[in-house]
Amino acid sequence: MSHLEGGPESDKPMLRRGFVAVRNRLTPDDVRAAAVALAERALELPELTHARTVAAYVSVGTEPGTLALLDALRARGVRVLLPALLPDNDLDWGAYTGEGALARVLHGGKMALLEPAGERLGPDAVTAADVVLLPGLAVDARGMRLGRGGGSYDRVLARLADSGAHPSLVVLLYDAEVVEHVPGEAHDRPVHAVVTPTSVRRFT
């Protein structure tokens, strides 16, 4: 468990800055090694073993790396959906067909994101997923996830709930980002599991 733990809701920006600062100290070799280990752990999940469609994302910068996992899932014959950020911070989706079919897209003053270059399937495409892999900065003992604060995945989770879809929700993190407590809000939804480079933890 990390010492970077939360209190009131107003602590969220400070917490985010703390977790991002730790990530920013990682070297490219650290990130690459963690990505390989993360993929190995994630591919052991029964939920991913049996999944036909997985909604995922392409990691950027020092985020826990996802490309090795995306390629392994695609090699298994899994349909992998990747997000494309819309102007209102909602997410559209497109199919992952390989690293060469990703486009680097700069959204305003935000960091450049790698998005699928092909056909857009609409925001509701995520409701067909058996598993949704979520980015985040931390998760606590209840399964509550600390996101980056943009609200995009809050919309995704609300859309899943409104549609009656019940995919497995899995957050991908580094080991030190599994903490005792993060501040939450009434609309926050817990994830079912967290995968780190060394472990898998499930929440009930």
CATH at 120: 3.40.50.10420
What pLDDT score was predicted for residue 163?
94
Q: Is residue 154 part of a domain?
A: yes
Total domain count for the chain? 1
E strand spans, 10-117: 53-55, 79-85, 91-95, 102-106, 112-116
Predicted pLDDT of residue 110: 65
From first to last of its 204 residues, the chain has per-residue pLDDT tens of 444 444 445 588 888 999 999 999 999 999 999 999 999 999 999 999 999 999 999 998 999 999 999 999 999 999 999 999 998 889 999 999 998 899 998 877 667 889 999 899 999 999 999 999 999 999 999 999 998 878 899 999 999 999 999 999 999 999 999 999 988 776 778 999 999 999 999 997
Match 């497995």 to its residue by tokens: 168
HSE (CB half, 13 Å, CA atoms) of 61? Answer: 13
Q: Which residue range forms the structural domain that includes residue 53?
A: 9-198
Are 193 and 45 contacting, i.e. CB atoms less than 8 angstroms apart?
A: yes
CA 67/CA 58 separation, integer angstroms: 6
In a domain, residue 98? The reply is yes
Annotated binding site for ATP: 12-16, 145-153
Strands 53-55 and 79-85: parallel
This prediction has a pTM of 0.90
Tokens of 182: 């993060």
- Residue ranges for the known binding site are 12-16, 58, 63, 145-153
> Which pLDDT belongs to residue 41?
95
Which parts are annotated binding residues for substrate?
Answer: 58, 63
Query: 16-46: per-residue pLDDT in tens?
Result: 999 999 999 999 999 999 999 999 999 999 9
Q: Residue 118 to residues 58, 77, 106, 157, 167: CA-CA distances in angstroms?
A: 15, 18, 17, 24, 24
Cα separation, 175 vs 1, whole angstroms: 8
Instruction: Say whether 100 sits in a helix, a strand or coil.
Output: helix
